[in-house]
C-alpha cells in the first residue's frame, strides 16, 4: 500500500509490475490507465466538478491549486468538460501559498484584485483535507465590504474540490461565511448514516490512548485515512474472501486458491521455495544464488482485488477494468447567502446534490437518497414489505381461481417465481403483492411527480417493485434498480439463402436476364452508332504516306475497334484509341 503522488507513482508502479506484486494506492495516480497490478482507492473527482460546472453554466473560473498533482486534475477536468459541452473551459490559474500563515493575506489580495472582475467562480482543488479546512476557516475571516461603499458588494462562489473531515463539514462550521457574502459548495465523503463510520468510531472509543490524545474522534478519520482504511479492507476481503475481522488474517483465513498452505511455514512466507520476494536476488543472505522470481499468483491476487464489492468507509467499493473506483456517489452541499451589507447575513438556501457515477449530477426535486444502509434494509425485513407490480405476460398473471386465494397467492409468472425464491433465500422476508393502481409502470408527469409503480415507490406506499420494468435514465434518477434479471433487444431476421452451385455464368445472378439483354443491345447499338459516325466524320480519316510516294486513307474505328472501345468505356478502363471528333468525345 502507498499514497503515491505524481513523483513517486512511477517508481511504485514499476516495482509492482516488475515483481508482480499488487499495489493499492490510496491516492489518485497521475496516469489515466493503470497496470494490471494496481488499484486506486481515491475517487476521481474531475467528473463531479465538471458536471457541477455544466449545471451552473460556468465557462470561466479561477482555479486555485497547491501542487502539481492538482494541475493534473485540472487537465482531466478540462478534457471532461470539452467532451460534455464541446466548449473549452476558460480558467485563470493561481497557486496557493506554501505557508499557512500567508493564506489570509493571499485571499485579501485576491478579493481586492477581483473586485471589478467578472470572474467570481473559484474552484479550490487541493487534495489535502487539512488545507481544505484551513481555507474554509480563512474564508470566514474575509471582509469583503468596504466601509465607504457599504451598498456595493460582490458575491464569490467557492467550490472546495476535495473532501473535509466530518467536523469541518458541520453546518455550524460552514455557516460562518454568512457575514462575508461568500457562497460555498463542499463535497461530502462521510454520510451521516454510514454504519461503517459509526462502527469505526465505536471501536476507537475503547482505546484509552486515542481518547487521551484526541478530544473528538471525528478529527482522527480524515479523508486520506479513510481511503487508506478502505484499502486495507479491500486487501482483507480479497485475500480472505470474507469481511473484516478484528483478529486479523490468519493462515487459515487465506484463500487457498491463491495462497497454498505450502507458501507459509513457521509464520514466514515462501515464494517458489525461497523465503520472501527480492528485487535483487543476491540480497538474500541465506540464498544469494537464488533466481529472480516474481510473486507467485500475483496476477490472481491483483484480479481478486479488482473483483471485490462491498460497502466501506468511503462508500460503495467497486473497481472497473482499469483499477479505478466505479459506481460511487458524492454528496454536494451548496450554501448560498443573502443579507444586508454591514449586517450578519442570512442563509437563503441550502441545496443538496447527488453525483452518481455513470449518471451524473442529480438535481431533480424528486430524487431519492442513495444512502440506504444495510441496517435500514434489515430493519425493514422485520415487517411485511409492500411489493407493487403490474399485470403483463409472462411476468405477472392472475391465476384462474384468484378470487378465492389470499393476495400473495393470486398471481403467477416469472416475477412471482423470483419473489418466492427471494423469500426462501432471505431470512424474515415477508411480503404482500399490491397491483399498481393505474396499471402503469411509471412515467414522469408535467408537474414533476410520477405515476405507476415508480410513483408508488416515491410516495412510500410500496417498498419494492418487481416487473418487466425497463431501466431508463429518468427512472434511475429517482429510484434504485437491482441488477437486470432479463435483457431484451430488437433483432432483424433474414432468411438464409439456399446454397447454389457455382457455374461459369454465376456472375449474371445479381441482374435478371432482361437487364442483361438490355445491356447487350445497348452495347451493340452504341458500337454501331460509333462506327457510322466515324465513317461520316472527316476528322476520323487520316492520310498516311506509303512507300514510293503513294498515299493511303485509314480510319482507326473499324467494327472490331468500335466494339472494343465501347467495352472499355463500359468497364471504365483505358484504351489507346480515342476519337478526334468532339461529338464522339462527349
Domain enclosing residue 471, as ranges: 374-476
Residue 356 preceded by cis peptide, ω within 30: no
Average pLDDT, the chain: 79
Per-residue pLDDT, 96:
92
CA gyration radius for the chain? 38
Residues 423 and 470 in one domain: yes
Residues 445 and 513 in one domain: no
The string of pLDDT tens digits covering residues 45-77 is: 889 999 999 988 999 999 999 877 778 888 889
Q: Are residues 59 and 99 in the same domain?
A: yes
CA distances from 479 to 370, 371, 465 (A): 8, 12, 10
pLDDT at 51: 92
Q: Are 410 and 538 within one domain? A: no
How far is Cα 254 from Cα 277, in angstroms, rounded to an integer? 19
Look at residue 278 and tell me whether its pLDDT is greater than 90.
Answer: no
Cell of 326: 466505479
Q: Which of 279, 281, 373, 371 is nearest to 331 (CA)?
A: 371
Q: For residue 464, which phi and psi values (nearest 5 degrees)? A: -155, 150
* Residues 204-263: tens digit of each pLDDT: 878 777 777 776 666 778 888 889 999 999 988 887 754 333 334 444 555 666 666 666
Among residues 238, 311, 226, the alpha carbon closest in space to that of 42 is found at 226
Q: Are residues 336 and 405 in the same domain?
A: no
457 with 515, same domain? no
Q: What is the pLDDT of residue 545?
A: 73
Whether the predicted pLDDT of 342 surpasses 70 = no
Q: Which of 11-25, 52-66, 251-265, 556-570 has the lowest mean pLDDT?
A: 251-265
Place of cell 486479523: 248
Inside any domain, residue 278: no
Q: What is the pLDDT of residue 522?
A: 93
In this structure, what DSSP letter does residue 392 have? Answer: B
382 and 344 assigned to the same domain: no
**Between 541 and 232, where is the model more confident?**
232
- Does residue 181 share a domain with residue 69? yes
453 and 517 co-located in one domain: no
Q: Are 162 and 127 in contact (CB under 8 A)?
A: yes
- For residue 494, tell me if it sits in a domain: no
Residue pair 492/444 in contact (Cβ under 8 Å)? The answer is: no
How confident is the model over 135-180, as pLDDT tens digits?
Answer: 888 888 877 655 444 444 567 889 988 877 666 665 555 655 545 6
Hey, is 538 helix, strand or coil? helix
* Per-residue cell: 211: 481518547
Instruction: Answer yes or no: do 64 and 157 share one domain.
Output: yes
Q: What is the pTM of this model?
A: 0.59
236 within a domain of the structure (yes/no) = no
- The number of folded domains in the chain is 3
Q: In this predicted structure, which of 352-366, 497-511, 558-572 has the lowest mean pLDDT? A: 352-366
Amino acid at each position: 500500500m502507498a499514497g503515491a503522488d505524481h513523483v513517486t507513482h512511477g517508481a511504485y508502479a514499476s516495482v509492482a509490475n516488475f515483481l508482480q506484486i499488487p499495489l493499492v494506492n490510496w491516492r489518485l495516480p497521475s496516469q489515466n490507465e493503470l497496470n494490471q497490478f494496481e488499484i486506486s482507492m481515491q475517487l476521481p473527482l474531475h467528473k463531479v466538478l465538471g458536471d457541477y460546472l455544466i449545471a451552473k453554466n460556468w465557462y470561466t473560473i479561477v482555479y486555485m491549486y497547491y501542487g502539481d498533482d492538482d494541475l493534473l486534475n485540472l487537465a482531466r477536468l478540462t478534457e471532461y468538460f470539452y467532451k460534455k459541452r464541446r466548449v473549452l473551459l476558460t480558467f485563470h490559474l493561481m497557486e496557493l501559498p506554501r505557508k499557512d500563515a500567508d493564506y489570509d493575506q493571499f485571499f485579501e489580495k485576491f478579493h481586492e484584485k477581483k473586485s471589478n472582475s467578472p470572474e467570481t467562480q473559484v474552484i479550490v482543488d487541493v487534495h489535502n483535507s487539512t488545507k481544505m479546512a484551513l481555507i474554509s476557516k480563512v474564508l470566514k475571516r474575509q471582509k469583503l465590504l468596504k466601509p465607504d461603499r457599504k451598498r456595493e458588494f460582490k458575491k464569490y462562489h467557492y467550490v472546495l474540490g476535495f473532501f473535509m473531515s466530518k467536523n469541518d463539514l458541520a453546518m455550524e462550521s460552514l455557516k460562518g461565511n454568512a457575514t462575508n457574502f461568500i457562497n460555498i459548495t463542499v463535497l461530502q465523503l462521510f454520510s451521516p448514516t454510514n454504519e461503517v463510520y459509526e462502527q469505526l468510531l465505536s471501536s476507537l472509543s475503547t482505546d484509552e490512548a486515542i481518547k487521551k490524545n484526541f478530544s473528538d474522534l471525528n478529527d482522527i478519520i480524515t479523508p486520506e485515512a479513510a481511503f487508506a482504511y478502505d484499502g486495507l479492507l479491500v486487501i482483507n476481503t480479497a485475500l480472505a474472501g470474507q469481511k473484516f475481522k478484528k483478529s486479523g488474517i490468519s493462515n487459515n483465513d487465506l484463500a487457498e486458491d491463491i495462497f497454498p498452505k505450502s507458501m507459509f511455514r513457521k509464520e514466514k512466507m515462501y515464494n517458489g521455495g525461497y523465503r520472501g520476494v527480492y528485487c535483487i536476488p543476491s540480497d538474500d543472505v541465506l540464498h544469494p544464488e537464488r533466481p529472480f522470481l516474481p510473486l507467485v499468483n500475483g496476477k490472481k491476487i491483483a484480479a481478486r482485488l479488482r473483483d471485490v464489492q462491498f460497502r466501506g468507509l468511503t462508500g460503495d467499493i467497486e473497481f472497473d477494468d482499469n483499477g479505478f473506483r466505479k459506481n460511487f456517489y458524492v454528496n454536494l452541499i451548496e450554501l448560498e447567502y443573502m443579507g444586508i451589507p454591514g449586517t450578519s447575513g442570512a442563509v437563503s438556501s441550502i441545496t443538496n446534490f447527488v453525483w452518481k457515477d455513470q449518471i451524473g449530477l442529480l438535481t431533480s426535486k424528486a430524487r431519492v437518497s442513495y444512502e440506504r444502509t444495510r441496517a435500514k434494509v434489515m430493519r425493514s425485513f422485520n415487517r411485511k414489505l409492500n411489493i407493487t407490480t403490474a399485470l403483463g405476460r409472462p411476468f405477472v398473471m392472475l391465476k384462474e381461481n384468484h378470487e378465492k386465494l389470499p393476495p400473495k397467492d393470486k398471481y403467477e409468472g416469472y416475477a412471482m417465481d423470483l419473489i418466492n425464491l427471494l423469500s426462501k433465500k432471505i431470512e424474515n422476508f415477508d411480503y404482500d403483492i399490491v397491483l399498481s393502481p393505474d396499471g402503469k409502470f411509471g412515467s414522469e408527469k408535467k408537474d414533476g411527480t410520477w405515476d405507476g409503480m415508480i410513483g408508488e415507490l416515491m410516495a412510500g406506499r410500496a417498498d419494492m417493485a418487481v416487473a418487466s420494468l425497463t431501466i431508463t435514465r429518468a427512472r434511475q434518477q429517482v429510484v434504485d434498480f437491482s441488477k437486470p434479471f432479463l435483457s431484451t433487444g430488437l433483432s432483424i431476421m433474414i432468411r438464409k439463402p439456399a446454397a447454389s452451385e457455382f457455374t461459369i455464368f454465376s456472375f449474371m445472378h445479381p441482374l435478371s436476364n432482361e437487364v442483361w439483354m438490355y445491356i447487350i443491345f445497348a452495347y451493340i447499338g452504341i458500337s454501331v452508332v460509333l462506327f457510322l459516325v466515324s465513317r461520316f466524320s472527316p476528322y476520323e480519316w487520316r492520310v498516311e504516306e506509303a512507300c514510293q510516294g503513294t498515299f493511303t486513307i485509314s480510319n482507326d474505328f473499324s467494327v472490331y475497334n468500335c466494339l472494343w472501345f465501347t467495352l472499355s468505356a463500359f468497364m471504365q478502363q483505358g484504351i489507346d484509341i480515342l476519337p478526334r471528333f468532339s461529338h464522339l468525345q462527349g
